[in-house]
């Protein structure tokens, strides 16, 4: 379960810093049939458990006890339940609610059994040091808390031995302390405060060291922290690079190029507003990646700016835009809502950008005309060899590289974290439970009882609300029988000492708990969130899982939900990538009516992919979902460059060489510099984006200025 | 959830601490050894008791009676017989609690150091009548009329002090425990039966 919880936090962590009106939920990443169970993993408190892992030096067990006392005291504000030490007050509310509902849950004892339990409990209470235990003894004289203890222990599935009251691994000398936090994983400010208090408490104990913290809150904070650090670094590098570009533009006396930036910003804003109105909200991930795609419209601005007098420039731009858009349109039919929203945002932004540049060019041509640099690449054998090598690398990479679109790919972990997670997962059961979310206004007890009956019939372990509370009719029978005990004579000691117990069972008008009246009892709150309930099917083998699915179709384990993201993407990329390339090729054919020119215009894309493939093989880059988004961007920009450069070889009157090459080089350099800082980041989301775009853009620019002229040259020579 | 064990265990520790040894003048090891001579070389010990627990919060007195038995080297039975039978048995490996027909067995190695291991450590000097360890773990002072006071040297005990009274023959006949919570426990012991 925890494997999933950890990976879950990942996909959205980078969106946490966004304003509240921006959607930052992960539900957009999956189709609706699986997004609901996925939501459960951060909404239901059942999944808010984290494990604080301590390394014990020597055998300083007394330090662990002292640490727990300090820890429980100092972190009280953020912790719902702590299994650090044996502090009964951590479970006080739970025990009280459990004891109070004993008359609903349990059949009433006989008069004799009750009398025996009362006297035995008084005997226990007469032992020294019982002060902390008194509330439990007074409200639960029949000791029903032991059943709750068994249920809770069964829920904790960590296979570690217990030593001195702690889950302990003698091989690594690690102690795992389960802590349930009192807030969902996305409230990272609270996690930060909790961790600070924990580390401060730990600092006083020399024999104890924090090995790490495992769980959804810990993973979310870890990812967010790294994103912040990376973004901080990118911001400074970005400012420096932007200033450098401004200085260069002014130094080469082409400051008007700077006027091309505001239209990109304006089109992004317009696309954002339009997307918001279409979808009702806009996801943080769309805002993170969309502007990068919309920025491709700068290619068209540069192209027209540097070829102001060529009438075919806007036709070339138009086809450049369309070839980009077909790639996006193919992904518009994705089953993943996020991709659909991202594509709508990007398509709208590209069209807005195109329209604004066209308008500015038409109305303010003199402000949007720039003298090109004298760039005229000459083909030679070295450049040709590079181009052919890149194409060969693409072919080899196609066989050797295997993308992994799993959500885990987007999780930030240090080497120490990875080692800790591997150790932790080695102690978890291999089967992940099936997750069932149910309920609504009709109440949870009836469906939960049906689940329980099925589980009992087929000997499947199930953790559900009805495991803790019987049916309404049973409850009513129990209540009636318990109330009959109120009239029994009792001693003054028994009356006074067990007052909480008598008050509970003898309250007039006490009815059955139907679980449809708002907040449920404390012992069931882990399973409840806003009128919805969750059950966990602990199936032991695939046969049991299939059996459950025959009655409750569509149930998935937590691991399966995570894997589904990868499965969906793999399934979609199988048709969307060939379709995008096919549609773009059709458009190019429509533009050129010549297959040779079509092939030539695809060279920058192929070389860009080849350079990325070579780098990925050489440096073991991971190819993830983020890399896929980068590829879409690369496809868009490389076809723009391909069309602009190929227009020089049509054999008809066209643009000037310097105008085309300057626009291609400027556009590529701006893109390259824009994404360069990303490769120095540490968070995989940013690193994957940076690796693909920096290598891909570098390959694309070389494919344009070296590849197209060289291939044209060698083919012409051959002919 | 193991609080009950902790409570019972500490109870034994403290109880055995004083019940197995009539205490001597404070505080040298030699003097303590002299006071414990009545229990020296014993193999088995059995004693009955009456106790009164005063619960400060409710201003309620709980009265009970029972017996305690020690079999060396390390077996202890503490049994409350009235008003209801609760039996606790301790050896080096485990603690078992039997009450109202239910038996709960807890392994010492799985229990918290705070609740059991440390307590067991405290118990062992009494099981072995290790005077050096007793002096090391308690501040022991004597008062008038064979009364002795024991204060644990470690401040995090649930019992803040104990007061014991010895008969002229050197047997413990009265023990008072003062808890951090304000509750008190007074135990009156009969004359022990000792087998050597």
For residue B162, list chain A residues with Cβ-Cβ distance below 8 A.
none
Q: Using an 8 Å Cβ cutoff, are A552 and A460 in contact?
A: no
> Would you state the pLDDT for residue A21?
55
Question: What is the mean pLDDT of the segment spanning A121-130?
Answer: 75
> Would you state the pLDDT for residue B132?
66
Question: What is the mean pLDDT of the segment spanning A604-613?
Answer: 96
Count of structural domains within chain A = 1
Q: What is the C-alpha to C-alpha distance for residues A370 and A297, in angstroms, rounded to an integer?
A: 17
Task: Copy the structure tokens of residue A298.
Answer: 């700068």
Q: What is the C-alpha to C-alpha distance for residues A57 and A71, in angstroms, rounded to an integer?
A: 18
Residue A200 lies in a domain: no
Residue of B nearest to A123 (CA): B84
Of the listed ranges A289-303, A556-570, A660-674, the one predicted with least confidence: A556-570
> Would you state the pLDDT for residue A705?
93
For residue A149, list chain B residues with Cβ-Cβ distance below 8 A.
1
Q: Using an 8 Å Cβ cutoff, are A673 and A241 in contact?
A: yes
Nearest beta carbon to residue B84 from set A119, A131, A146: A119
Predicted confidence (pLDDT) per residue in A144-161, tens digit: 888 888 888 777 777 888
Residue A106 has pLDDT above 80, yes or no: yes
Cβ distance A62 to B118 less than 8 Å, yes or no, reads: yes
> Would you state the pLDDT for residue B19?
41
Q: Using an 8 Å Cβ cutoff, are A594 and A345 in contact?
A: no
Please give the residue that has the higher pLDDT: either A59 or B162.
B162
Residue B60 has pLDDT above 80, yes or no: yes
Question: Residue B194: CA atoms inside 13 Å, Cβ hemisphere, count?
Answer: 15
Q: Count the neighbouring beta carbons within 10 Å of the beta carbon of residue A238.
A: 15
Of the listed ranges A138-147, A364-373, A539-548, B21-30, the one predicted with least confidence: B21-30
Q: What is the C-alpha to C-alpha distance for residues B95 and B92, in angstroms, rounded to an integer?
A: 8
Give yes or no for a cis peptide into B73 (omega within 30° of 0).
Answer: yes
Predicted confidence (pLDDT) per residue in A710-719, tens digit: 999 998 888 6
Question: What is the mean pLDDT of the segment spanning A245-259?
Answer: 89
For residue A123, list chain B residues with Cβ-Cβ distance below 8 A.
64, 80, 83-86, 99
Residue A112 contacts B where some CB pair is shorter than 8 Å: no
Q: What is the C-alpha to C-alpha distance for residues A141 and A120, in angstroms, rounded to an integer?
A: 8
Residue A159 lies in a domain: no
Residue A542 has pLDDT above 60, yes or no: yes
Residue A533 contacts B where some CB pair is shorter than 8 Å: no
Task: Copy the structure tokens of residue B166.
Answer: 């010895």
Domains of chain B (ranges; CATH) run 3-195 (2.50.20.10)
Give the CA radius of gyration of chain A.
32
Residue A476 has pLDDT above 90, yes or no: yes
Question: What is the mean pLDDT of the segment spanning B49-64?
Answer: 90
Please give the residue that has the higher pLDDT: either A653 or B89.
B89
Residue B55 contacts A where some CB pair is shorter than 8 Å: yes
Residue A85 contacts B where some CB pair is shorter than 8 Å: yes
Q: Using an 8 Å Cβ cutoff, are A369 and A357 in contact?
A: no
User: Domain containing A259: what range?
Assistant: 252-412+560-718
Percentage of residues in chain B having pLDDT higher than 90: 5
Of the listed ranges A108-112, A356-360, B116-120, B171-175, the one predicted with least confidence: B116-120
Of the listed ranges A378-382, A400-404, B100-104, the one predicted with least confidence: B100-104
Question: Residue A437: CA atoms inside 13 Å, Cβ hemisphere, count?
Answer: 23
DSSP string, A586-621: HHHHHHHS-HHHHHHHTHHHHHHHHHHHHHHHHHT-
- Taking CA atoms, A51 is separated from A57, A82, A223, A535, in Å, by 19, 10, 17, 22
Which of the residues B90, B99, B113 would you substitute to probe the A interface, choosing the one with the greatest number of A C-beta atoms within 10 Å?
B113
Nearest beta carbon to residue B111 from set A124, A130, A164: A164
Task: Copy the structure tokens of residue A199.
Answer: 């580390």
What is the ipTM score, two decimals? 0.76
For residue B12, list chain A residues with Cβ-Cβ distance below 8 A.
none
Of the listed ranges A219-223, A234-238, A319-323, A501-505, the one predicted with least confidence: A234-238
pLDDT confidence band for B1 (50 / 70 / 90): very low
pLDDT confidence band for B119 (50 / 70 / 90): very low
Residue A108 lies in a domain: no
Please give the residue that has the higher pLDDT: either B120 or B76.
B76
> Would you state the pLDDT for residue A15?
35
Residue A88 contacts B where some CB pair is shorter than 8 Å: yes
> Would you state the pLDDT for residue A128?
62
Residue B95 has pLDDT above 50, yes or no: yes
Residue B64 contacts A where some CB pair is shorter than 8 Å: yes
DSSP string, A622-677: ---HHHHHHHHHHHHHHHHHHHHHHGGGSSSS---HHHHHHHHHHHHHHHHHHHGG
Percentage of residues in chain A having pLDDT higher than 90: 42
Q: What is the C-alpha to C-alpha distance for residues A114 and A571, in angstroms, rounded to an integer?
A: 63
The minimum CA-CA distance between A621 and chain B, rounded to whole Å, is 46
Cβ distance A128 to B53 less than 8 Å, yes or no, reads: yes
Residue A64 contacts B where some CB pair is shorter than 8 Å: yes
> Would you state the pLDDT for residue B4?
45
Residue A497 lies in a domain: no
Question: What is the mean pLDDT of the segment spanning A473-477?
Answer: 94
Cβ distance A126 to B53 less than 8 Å, yes or no, reads: yes
Residue B144 contacts A where some CB pair is shorter than 8 Å: no
The minimum CA-CA distance between A127 and chain B, rounded to whole Å, is 6
pLDDT confidence band for B122 (50 / 70 / 90): very low
Which of the residues B14, B66, B100 would you substitute to probe the A interface, choosing the one with the greatest number of A C-beta atoms within 10 Å?
B100
Residue B22 has pLDDT above 50, yes or no: no
Residue A320 has pLDDT above 90, yes or no: yes
Percentage of residues in chain B having pLDDT higher than 70: 63
> Would you state the pLDDT for residue B110?
63
Q: How many residues does chain A have?
A: 719
Nearest beta carbon to residue A162 from set B84, B110, B183: B110
**Exposed/middle/buried for residue A271 (C-beta within 10 Å: 0-12, 13-18, 19+):** buried
- φ, ψ for residue B7 (rounded to 5)? -60, -50
Residue A629 lies in a domain: yes
Residue where the block lists tokens 């008809």: A652
Question: What is the mean pLDDT of the segment spanning A93-102?
Answer: 90
Question: What is the mean pLDDT of the segment spanning A122-145?
Answer: 80
Task: Copy the structure tokens of residue A319.
Answer: 């086809």
Domain containing residue A637: CATH number: 1.20.1640.10
Cβ distance B60 to A143 less than 8 Å, yes or no, reads: no
**For the range A516-520, what are the long-range contacts, defined as Cβ-Cβ under 8 Å and sequence gap of 24 or more?**
A516/A441, A516/A442, A516/A443, A516/A444, A516/A445, A520/A465
Which residues, listed in sequence order, are joined to residue B69 by a DSSP beta bridge? B46, B77
Q: Using an 8 Å Cβ cutoff, are A668 and A701 in contact?
A: yes
> Would you state the pLDDT for residue A398?
92
Of the listed ranges A97-101, A452-456, A574-578, the one predicted with least confidence: A574-578
Question: What is the mean pLDDT of the segment spanning A130-139?
Answer: 80
pLDDT confidence band for B129 (50 / 70 / 90): low
The minimum CA-CA distance between B109 and chain A, rounded to whole Å, is 6
Most confident of A131-145, A304-318, A402-416: A304-318
Residue A548 lies in a domain: no
Predicted confidence (pLDDT) per residue in A411-462, tens digit: 888 888 889 999 998 888 767 889 998 886 667 899 999 999 999 999 999 9
Of the listed ranges A64-68, A331-335, A557-561, B13-17, the one predicted with least confidence: B13-17
Question: What is the mean pLDDT of the segment spanning A177-193?
Answer: 91
> Would you state the pLDDT for residue A670?
86
Residue B5 contacts A where some CB pair is shorter than 8 Å: no
**Exposed/middle/buried for residue A620 (C-beta within 10 Å: 0-12, 13-18, 19+):** exposed
Which of the residues A56, A69, A123, A175 would you substitute to probe the B interface, choosing the one with the greatest number of B C-beta atoms within 10 Å?
A123
> Would you state the pLDDT for residue B33?
66
Residue B7 has pLDDT above 80, yes or no: no
Residue B17 contacts A where some CB pair is shorter than 8 Å: no
Residue where the block lists tokens 């009164």: B52
Residue A294 has pLDDT above 90, yes or no: no
Residue A145 lies in a domain: no
Residue A126 contacts B where some CB pair is shorter than 8 Å: yes
Cβ distance B1 to A86 less than 8 Å, yes or no, reads: yes
> Would you state the pLDDT for residue A130?
63
Question: What is the mean pLDDT of the segment spanning A230-242?
Answer: 82
As a whole number, the mean pLDDT across chain A is 86
Residue A269 lies in a domain: yes
Of the listed ranges A30-39, A392-401, A626-635, the one predicted with least confidence: A30-39
Q: What is the C-alpha to C-alpha distance for residues A597 and A620, in angstroms, rounded to an integer?
A: 34
Residue A66 contacts B where some CB pair is shorter than 8 Å: yes
């Amino acid at each position: 379960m925890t494997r999933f919880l950890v990976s879950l936090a990942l996909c959205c962590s980078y969106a946490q810093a966004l304003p509240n009106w921006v959607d930052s939920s992960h539900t957009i990443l999956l189709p609706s049939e699986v997004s609901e169970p996925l939501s459960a993993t951060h909404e239901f408190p059942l999944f808010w458990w984290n494990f604080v892992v301590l390394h014990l030096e020597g055998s300083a067990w007394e330090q662990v006890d002292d640490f727990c006392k300090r820890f429980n005291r100092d972190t009280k504000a953020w912790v719902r339940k702590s299994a650090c030490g044996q502090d009964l007050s951590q479970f006080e509310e739970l025990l009280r609610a459990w004891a109070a509902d004993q008359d609903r849950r349990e059949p009433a004892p006989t008069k004799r059994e009750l009398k025996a339990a009362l006297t035995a409990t008084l005997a226990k209470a007469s032992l020294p040091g019982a002060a902390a235990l008194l509330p439990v003894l007074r409200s639960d004289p029949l000791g029903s808390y032991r059943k709750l203890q068994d249920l809770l222990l069964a829920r904790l599935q960590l296979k570690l031995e217990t030593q001195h009251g702690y889950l302990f691994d003698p091989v690594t000398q690690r102690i795992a302390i389960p802590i349930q936090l009192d807030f969902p994983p996305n409230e990272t400010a609270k996690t930060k405060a909790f961790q600070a208090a924990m580390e401060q408490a730990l600092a006083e104990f020399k024999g104890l060291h924090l090995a790490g913290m495992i769980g959804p809150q810990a993973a979310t904070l870890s990812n967010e922290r790294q994103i912040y650090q990376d973004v901080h670094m990118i911001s400074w590098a970005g400012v420096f690079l932007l200033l450098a570009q401004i200085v260069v533009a002014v130094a080469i006396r082409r400051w008007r190029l700077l006027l091309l930036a505001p239209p990109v910003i304006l089109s992004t804003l317009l696309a954002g507003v339009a997307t918001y109105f279409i979808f009702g909200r806009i996801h943080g991930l769309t805002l993170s990646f969309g502007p990068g795609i919309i920025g491709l419209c700068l290619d068209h601005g540069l192209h027209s700016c540097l070829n102001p007098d060529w009438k075919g420039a806007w036709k070339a731009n138009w086809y450049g835009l369309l070839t980009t858009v077909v790639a996006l349109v193919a992904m518009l039919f994705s089953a993943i809502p996020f991709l659909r929203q991202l594509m709508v945002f990007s398509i709208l932004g590209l069209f807005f950008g195109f329209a604004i540049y066209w308008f500015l060019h038409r109305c303010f041509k003199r402000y949007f005309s720039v003298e090109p640099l004298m760039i005229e690449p000459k083909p030679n054998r070295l450049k040709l060899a590079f181009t052919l090598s890149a194409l060969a690398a693409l072919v080899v990479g196609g066989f050797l590289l295997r993308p992994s679109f799993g959500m885990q790919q987007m999780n930030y972990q240090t080497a120490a974290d990875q080692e800790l997670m591997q150790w932790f997962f080695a102690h978890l059961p291999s089967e992940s439970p099936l997750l069932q979310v149910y309920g609504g206004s009709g109440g949870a007890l009836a469906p939960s009882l049906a689940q329980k009956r099925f589980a009992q019939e087929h000997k499947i372990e199930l953790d559900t609300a009805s495991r803790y509370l019987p049916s309404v009719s049973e409850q009513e029978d129990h209540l009636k029988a318990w109330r009959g005990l109120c009239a029994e004579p009792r001693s003054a000691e028994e009356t006074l000492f067990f007052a909480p117990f008598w008050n509970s069972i003898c309250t007039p008008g006490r009815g059955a708990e139907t679980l449809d009246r708002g907040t449920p009892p404390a012992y069931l709150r882990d399973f409840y969130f806003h009128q919805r309930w969750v059950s966990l099917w602990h199936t032991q083998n695939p046969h049991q899982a299939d059996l459950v699915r025959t009655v409750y179709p569509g149930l998935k384990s937590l691991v399966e939900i995570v894997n589904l993201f990868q499965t969906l993407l793999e399934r979609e990329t199988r048709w969307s990538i060939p379709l995008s390339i096919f549609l773009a090729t059709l458009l190019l054919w429509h533009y050129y009516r010549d297959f040779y020119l079509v092939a030539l215009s695809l060279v920058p894309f192929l070389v860009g992919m080849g350079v990325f493939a070579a780098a990925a093989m050489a440096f073991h880059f991971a190819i993830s979902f983020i890399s896929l988004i980068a590829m879409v961007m690369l496809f868009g920009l490389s076809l723009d460059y391909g069309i602009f450069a190929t227009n020089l070889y049509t054999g008809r009157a066209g643009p000037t060489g310097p105008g085309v090459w300057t626009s291609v080089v400027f556009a590529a350099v701006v893109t390259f510099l824009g994404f360069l800082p990303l490769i120095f980041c540490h968070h995989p989301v940013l690193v994957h984006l940076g690796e693909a775009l920096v290598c891909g853009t570098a390959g694309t620019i070389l494919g344009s200025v070296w590849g197209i002229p060289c291939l044209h040259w060698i083919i012409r020579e051959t002919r | 959830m193991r609080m009950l064990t902790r409570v019972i265990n500490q109870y034994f520790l403290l109880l055995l601490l004083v019940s197995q040894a009539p205490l001597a003048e404070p505080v040298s090891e030699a003097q303590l050894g002299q006071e414990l001579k009545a229990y020296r070389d014993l193999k088995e010990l059995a004693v009955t008791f009456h106790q009164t627990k005063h619960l400060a919060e409710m201003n309620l007195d709980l009265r009970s009676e029972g017996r305690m038995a020690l079999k060396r080297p390390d077996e202890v039975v503490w049994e409350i017989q009235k008003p209801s039978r609760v039996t606790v048995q301790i050896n080096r490996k485990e603690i078992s609690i039997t009450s109202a027909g239910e038996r709960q067995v807890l392994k010492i190695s799985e229990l918290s150091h705070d609740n059991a291991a440390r307590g067991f450590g405290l118990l062992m000097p009494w099981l072995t009548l290790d005077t050096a360890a007793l002096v090391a773990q308690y501040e022991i002072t004597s008062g008038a009329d064979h009364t002795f006071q024991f204060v644990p040297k470690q401040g995090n005990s649930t019992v803040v002090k104990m007061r014991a009274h010895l008969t002229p023959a050197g047997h413990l006949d009265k023990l008072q425990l003062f808890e951090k919570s304000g509750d008190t426990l007074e135990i009156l012991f009969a004359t022990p039966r000792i087998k050597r």
